[in-house]
Amino acid sequence: MVISLVVYALAGMAIGALTGWLTSLITKCGQKGLLKDGFLGSFGYLAGFIGSISVPWPRNTITYRLEGGTEVSSTMNSYQHPERVAIAIAILLPLLRELYLCKKRKASQLT
């Protein structure tokens, strides 16, 4: 369990650092804070992963009849892929930070 969380944190750090770097290249605001973007991505990945697992999502229950009149119920939880939520948050946090810093730098250059 702990090893998987460390691996997820490293994956989130790589995703966050890559997202922050790409955002700084696109916005042309400088490439500062790559390590902070990595930590934001790592935090976002872990928070999204743990958060999507711990949220009490509604259950999907399907009931159908077989030929002999027997009813079969199948229940499935809605949080099958918490990695998708985790990746989205790991991308979103560094992206928002870089866009905020870029807007702040451009506003300070105008005054």
Confidence of residue 4 (pLDDT cuts 50, 70, 90): confident
Handedness of CA 98, 99, 103, 104 (dihedral sign): negative
Gap between the Cα atoms of 61 and 99, Å rounded: 42
8 has pLDDT over 80: no
Q: Among residues of the chain, what percentage have pLDDT more than 90?
A: 0
User: 3-state DSSP helix/strand/coil percent for the chain, to nearest 5?
Assistant: 70, 15, 20
Provide the residue type at 14 as one letter: A
How does pLDDT run across 41-50, given as a tens digit for each residue? 888 888 888 8
Q: Going by C-beta distance under 8 Å and a sequence separation of 6 or more, which residues neighbour residue 89?
A: 44, 45, 47, 48
Side chain identity at residue 33, one-letter code: G
